[in-house]
Structures are given as structure tokens and as C-alpha cells.
Amino acid sequence: MLTIGTLSKKTGTKVQTIRYYEQIGLMPEPGRTEGGQRRYDNAQLDRLSFIRHSRQLGFSLDAIRELLDLSDHPNRSCHEADAIARRQLKQVDQRMARLKALRTELKRMVHECSGGRTGDCKVLEVLRDHSECLTEHEEIGA
Amino acid sequence: MLTIGTLSKKTGTKVQTIRYYEQIGLMPEPGRTEGGQRRYDNAQLDRLSFIRHSRQLGFSLDAIRELLDLSDHPNRSCHEADAIARRQLKQVDQRMARLKALRTELKRMVHECSGGRTGDCKVLEVLRDHSECLTEHEEIGA
DNA sequence: GCTTGAACCTCTAGCTGCTAGAGGATGTAT
DNA sequence: ATACATCCTCTAGCAGCTAGAGGTTCAAGC
């Protein structure tokens, strides 16, 4: 039986985050001691590791909820899991493409900075005038 | 003189967002009609465009605050603006590197999916067991 | 001048995915 | 018995918006 602190260390998840996952129903309610402290078993350790790893791969908590559900039913078709992963891959591809465009723009800005007064600063000038941009980058939150 | 709605259309910023920027002090308090409606001039249009464009390039609102401040003082050295842009570029580079690692992993997951039962699903298996990963990807929020 | 209706106003609450802190109870080692 | 690390719940906060309720104002058409 693991305390929440031990689980925290083993998975690299903050204690507060574990409680948060329980609150939103991603982690099941664990057993408690007489005094009311949470105690976890290995199944729960596995589940949290799964969540953690999925987060590291960028899956949203909603997607993880679906993936966990699929994982709990080994006889269903894995078609859905595959679809979720593909969706995630697509998102990553899109984000990378956007970042690439931003990078180009940023590089150009920095490259052209002559180190003089802010009045002549290329960095600020580019920010002032979108028309100077070589690439389109309409989306925010890349 | 522009209404908030016109400003919104011209900059592609939602009306609520413009009011939010005013609330946090990123946009100045505009003039008002007798009835209390906001009216903007071209200086404010420029300022919002600057903010918008900076957001598109991924700058945080705090960074933008600094950049705006620098932009308001044309005689200062542009060293700081350059530093902010370089910092941003570095962040973009880091995010891209992380995304690249994630992409590799996701691609592998999806590629190995055989389309059978979830019990044998490679996607879920990889999520279950981090040790199967070829790359490290410790950071979240890539 | 009057009516209509789109656009404006303020205020509050919500989103994702946590994180931090207050104020107090529990568990374990000595 | 005592110390003190860890646990508990609860509330509020972070970025950066977004949405909705409930009410007012503006401008155009008649």
C-alpha cells in the first residue's frame, strides 16, 4: 500500500495533481486509513503512470479518459485508440508547422537587429507592421 | 473614431478580448461617448495590431508589455527588445525539439497498430509502459 | 420624432490543467 | 510523549481568454 506521497514520487506527479485527477474522475477513489489518509495499490500506480505518460505525449485529459476507458475493455476494437492517437499526431504536425513559420519570422527579426536605438529596432518594426512578414501565421497559441 | 466592434474587425480581436486587454492595462482606457461607449483612434488601432501580431508570434502578454514600453521610448537601446525576441526564439526552438520527439513516438505508436482488439493495441501498450519509448520526453505542455 | 434592432455596457463565471496556501489532523519514529 | 513530516479539505489563483445574463445606447429608416 502506497501513500499519496510515495505515489507522487514514483510517478513524478505532484500530490495536488493526484488529488485533482481523483476529483475530476480520472483516478478512482482510493482506499483510506482509519484516519482518512489515501492508500494506493499497484493497479492505481499503473493507471497514474498511464495518465502521466499520455500527458507527456500531449494528450488532453479528455483524450486520456477515452484511452483509459478503451484500455479497461481489452475486447473492443482498438480502432478508436488508433483514431485518438492519429488525431494527436495530426495536432502535433500542425503545431510543428506553425512553430516553423514563427521561427522563421523570429529569426529574421533577431537577425536584422542592428543594436541601435529602439526607434530603429527591426524587432519592434516587424511587430508594428504585419505586412513585413514573409509568412502567414494567423493562429495563436502555437 | 472607431467603435469597439470596428476595432475588433480590423484587428481580428474579439470584443471581449479588447476589453480584457484594457482591464489588465495592456490597452489604454479609450475615450467614451456621452452614453458611455468606447471610441478608439488610430494610435489605439496601431497598438492593438502590435499586440495582436506579437501574440501571433507567441509572445506572452508580459513580454508584450515590455515590448510596448520599449516601443514607446524610441531613444532607448533596442538591446532589450532584441533579448526578448531571442528568448522567444529559444523557447520556440525548445518547443519544436520536444514536439519532434513526441512526433516520433506517436508515429511509431500509430504505425504499429495492427487494428485488432484493444487488448493487443500497440497504442495503449506504449502508453502503459514508458520503457518502450525510444526517446525521452519528460516535459509536459509541449 | 419614433421605433427598431444591432451593437454596446458591466458583471460574473467558466475553460484547461494544474499549483499554492491556510489551517488543521494523522502517522511514525524515537 | 513528543516531534515533525506528511496528510487532509477547502479556497483561490495562474494564463489568456470566452460566454452569458440582463440591461442601455446608437444610428438608420420611416
The answer to whether A88 faces chain B, any CB pair under 8 Å, is: yes
Chain A residue closest in CA terms to B86: A110
**In the A/B pair of chains, how many CB contacts fall below 8 A?**
179
Cβ-defined contact of B110 to A81 (cutoff 8 Å): no
Q: Is B49 domain-assigned? A: yes
Q: Is B23 domain-assigned? A: yes
Exposure class string for A116-130: b at 16+ Cβ within 10 A, else e:
eebeebbbbbbbbee
What is the spatial distance, in angstroms and rounded to an integer, between the CA atom of A27 and the C1' atom of D10?
Answer: 20
What pLDDT digit, counting tens, does each position of A120-142 carry?
788 888 888 776 665 666 656 54
Q: Kindly state whether residues A53 and A83 are assigned to the same domain.
A: no
Q: Is A66 domain-assigned? A: no
Residue ranges making up the domain that contains B107: 96-132
User: Could you tell me the CATH number of the domain that includes residue B18?
Assistant: 1.10.1660.10
Report how many domains make up chain B.
2
Q: How far does Cα B109 stand from its chain's mean position?
A: 29
Surface of A (63-82) touching B: CB under 8 A: 67, 70-71, 73-79, 81-82
Tell me the H-state helices in B12-136: 15-23, 42-56, 61-71, 79-112, 122-128
What is the spatial distance, in angstroms and rounded to an integer, between the CA atom of B61 and the C1' atom of C22?
Answer: 30
Q: What is the CA angle B90-B92-B95, rounded to 5?
A: 110
Q: Is B117 domain-assigned? A: yes
What pLDDT digit, counting tens, does each position of A31-85 carry?
999 999 999 999 999 999 999 999 988 899 999 999 999 999 888 888 888 999 9
Q: Is B39 domain-assigned? A: yes
Q: Is B85 domain-assigned? A: no
In this prediction, residue B126 has a pLDDT band, given cuts at 50, 70 and 90, of confident
Q: Is B112 domain-assigned? A: yes
Check whether residue A61 has its CB closer than 7 Å to nucleic acid strand C: yes
Q: Give residue A29's pLDDT.
A: 96
Q: What's the CA gap between A53 and A65, in Å, rounded? A: 13
Q: Which residue has the cell 513559420?
A: A101
- In this structure, of A1-15, A80-94, B34-48, the range with the lowest mean pLDDT score is A80-94
Which of the pair, B128 or A111, is modelled with greater confidence?
Answer: B128
